[in-house]
Amino acid sequence: MDPKENLVLLAAALLWMVISAETSQATHLPGCQDKCGDVSIPYPFGTSEGCYFNDHFRITCDTKITPPLPYLWSSKVEVLSISLDGHLRILTFVGADCYNKSGARESRKKSIAILPAFPFSNTRNKFFGIGCDTIALISGVDLHGQTYSTGCLSLCNDTASVTNGSCNGIGCCQIPIPGNLLRYSATVTSFKNHTDIWESNPCGFSFLAEEESFNFTIANLTSIKNTTRLPSSIDWAIGNQTCEEAKKDLTGYVCKANSGCYDSSNAPGYLCNCSAGYIGNPYLPDGCQDVDECKDSNLNRCLKKCQNTNGNYTCSCPKGYHGDGRKDGEGCSADQLLAVKIFVGVGTSVIVLVAVSGLLYFGQQKRKLIKLKEKYFQQNGGLMLQQRLAGREEPTSAAKIYTAEELEKATNNFDESNIIGRGGYGIVYKGIFADNTVVAIKKSRTVDNSQIEQFINEVVVLSQINHRNVVKLLGCCLETEVPLLVYECVSNGTLSSYIHDRNKAATFTWETRLRIAAETAGVLSYLHSAASMPIIHRDVKSNNILLDENQTAKVSDFGSSRLVPLDQAQISTMVQGTLGYLDPEYMLTSQLTEKSDVYSFGVVLVELLTGKKPLSFERPEEERSLAMLFLSALKEDRLFPILEDCIAKEGNAEQVDKVARLGKTCLRVKGEERPTMKEVAMELERLRMMGKHPWTNVESNYEPTEYLLGKQIDAFGHGKSGESSAGYQVLGAVLLPSGGR
């Protein structure tokens, strides 16, 4: 061939490659800006009129700086990257609270983010608190206008106790955020103004950030500043219709040819993706281009000839052969009779070898599977569980050992649609076995030593609990990568949802509330005194009290619980629990006792009486803590104005007043002045009987009850020797010694 012809063909080939590359990589509308600085801007996002789907997808490109920077809408929310799978990464500020060496505050700044659309991702982000004397708080509003408030504690005596990469409450704490969170405000404060550890940690920090992007180090105690910005992720979607609704709207449906839609997991609306065999931007006309599987042997299963088709490919055999031409199918066989005979002869001669090889192979695979299950058994704490159970005097209740296949089938391979709850240590799925038994399956989030210890702790604790008002443990599975627990399913919601939902609360009668309180107190009394070894729940709250179809209380979530040796009255632990319910004495001393559960139960009792949240930043500062608000109301003799409306109207004033006085004794600052859970349970049962049989002379039996609750309590629940609260003051949700913060 003439050399000139070769050059022409080469030039044509290069031109075709360039055109193909531009077509396959096009992610924006023709004539629109595809990048701002180093950030790609794919449609439905755009920087100018006609280049974006609607105003929610508008990107402002600031070209006055070098390199140019993209921002969401006309705000100063800087965009780091945009992906077509529904995620958009931005930069958010850090909240800080700094002090000088003498303990005087030098600066304080909140971290605030307000998004008019697209919520923060609840699967990719976490809320963090950094510092050795830090209370990190976050409050926000979701897409539906619902408010949200929570926080975490980060404490440490010195930097020697802090571990790089570990965010477990020592120097660093983290908690998940709810779905649909549209805006938030993150603040931070301290107990002692960082005076004890000022040299190594003069500031406390709080912020929302991507969990994968932030890796805590000891240097963060001083290196983070309130001007620092960290990556966080938001979830975007199209419109506010579901996928099925959008497909019926032919004029508004945005998924183009060779694509389909699916519902967003954290926002109203839907997303598009290219169909199998296609790749590209599904929001653009002709954006999804066919993948040529024949060019890549990893994408096709052809033995010889491969023919590309739209969205797929076909295989064929060369001349003289027949079959489907696939490696995973019939393959290609010679047409000649002699070739067939040769093939049969060769196959017959090696069949024994193949059989033997197969037996050896499957034997090896079986041994590998056994070793893998043994590995998971040890990894998931199987040996630890055996040791813990072997040291007990009484045998564990019979619990079934489930196979991984059984649980995968029951949950449809742990499909997200079967998620019924999320806790600090895992996700809870609804499962249905072949015999139609409905169960709840708890799956740990990750595999690490702290998670395994929580898992084994919950198995040991629940295995020795036999009580009708405790969620029953049915069994466990240790042969999977993460450990699994199987419980009875209590699917009527939490006590918190009944107390704080206005529609449910209106029908939640006083009699039902008092019964639930008595049932919960009975469980805690059983844990403290009737179990073979005393058990402290350590996270008593209305969210951990489930209700069945008869509104019977079922106490759950024993992942934080602790067994107390019979020769010990208290144990030292890292402070753990939920703000608003935490025993102030436990928080200050780290000494966990049964009276810590009594305080938390007292807060639940006040919730049942008032219908108010234990900690709310929407209330005035002096009323943010429900315990403080309640005790102040009792002291000023204005109990009934703060009661739930439906309770105040039922006409049980005397019974309600006695329950309130009982709650007051549970909330005493000093644990030794609180009643035991057994005494509380007996008193609540007595008050229930008073309501059922008002003609009974209950007052005649009140003197023994006074003695039961302690000599310091009079007939109205007042402390005869005073409340012993002198020397303490209240800060937010935490009771602290006077003169300190």
Instruction: Give the tens place of pLDDT for each residue, 720-729.
Output: 333 333 222 2
Residue 556: what pLDDT?
86
Phi, psi of 374 (to 5 degrees): -65, -40
The CATH number covering residue 463 comes to: 3.30.200.20
How confident is the prediction for the chain on average, in pLDDT? 83
Q: Which residues contact 627 (CB under 8 A, 6 or more apart)?
A: 580, 602, 603, 606, 614, 667, 733, 735
Position 4 in a domain: no
Residue 552 to residue 498: CA distance in whole angstroms:
13
One domain for residues 479 and 524: no
Residue in this structure with the two tokens 């600085």, named with its chain if needed: 37
One domain for residues 128 and 226: yes
One domain for residues 536 and 416: no
Could you give the angle at which helices 382-390 and 449-463 cross, rounded to 10 degrees? 40
| Residue 53, burial from CB neighbour count under 10 angstroms (0-12, 13-18, 19+) | middle
Selected catalytic residue, list 235, 539, 557, 583: 539
One domain for residues 516 and 585: yes
| 42, 69, 84 - which closes a domain | 84
DSSP for residue 51 = S
Position 23 in a domain: no
Q: Report CA-CA distances (Å) from 587 to 153, 211, 392, 578, 579.
A: 10, 27, 30, 11, 10
Residue in this structure with the two tokens 């034997």, named with its chain if needed: 363
Residue 698: what pLDDT?
45
DSSP letters along 510-578, please? HHHHHHHHHHHHHHHHIIIIISSS-EE-S---GGGEEE-TT--EEE---TT-EE--TT-S-EE----S-
Residue 614: what pLDDT?
94
CB 732 within 8 A of CB 135: yes
Position 398 in a domain: yes
Position 281 in a domain: no
One domain for residues 480 and 510: no
The closest of 598, 505, 520 to 554, measured between CA atoms, is 520
Residues in the chain predicted with pLDDT less than 50, given as ranges, are: 3-24, 395-396, 696-741
Q: How many CB atoms lie within 10 A of CB 123?
A: 15
| 220, 235, 250 - which closes a domain | 235
Residue 45 to residue 715: CA distance in whole angstroms:
69
One domain for residues 431 and 580: no
Residue 352: what pLDDT?
78
Residue 735 to residue 586: CA distance in whole angstroms:
10
Residue 83 to residue 85: CA distance in whole angstroms:
5
Q: Is 235 labeled as catalytic in the residue annotation?
A: no
Tokens for 74?
Answer: 């006309």
Distance of CA 155 to the CA centre of its chain: 22
In three-state secondary structure terms, 61 is strand
CB 445 within 8 A of CB 423: no
443 marked as binding residue = yes
Q: Work out how many domains the chain is built from and give that number.
A: 5
Position 163 in a domain: yes
Position 246 in a domain: no
Residue 423: what pLDDT?
66
One domain for residues 531 and 473: no
Residue 408 to residue 411: CA distance in whole angstroms:
5
Residue 126: what pLDDT?
97
The CATH number covering residue 620 comes to: 1.10.510.10
Q: Are strands 728-731 and 591-592 parallel, antiparallel or unpaired?
A: unpaired
One domain for residues 79 and 91: no
One domain for residues 553 and 642: yes
| Residue 703, burial from CB neighbour count under 10 angstroms (0-12, 13-18, 19+) | exposed
One domain for residues 397 and 314: no
Position 351 in a domain: no
What domain range includes position 401? 385-488
Residue 467 to residue 571: CA distance in whole angstroms:
25
One domain for residues 501 and 646: yes
In three-state secondary structure terms, 206 is strand
Position 283 in a domain: no
One domain for residues 675 and 691: yes
Report pLDDT digits (tens) over 248-281.
Answer: 987 889 999 999 999 999 988 999 999 989 999 9
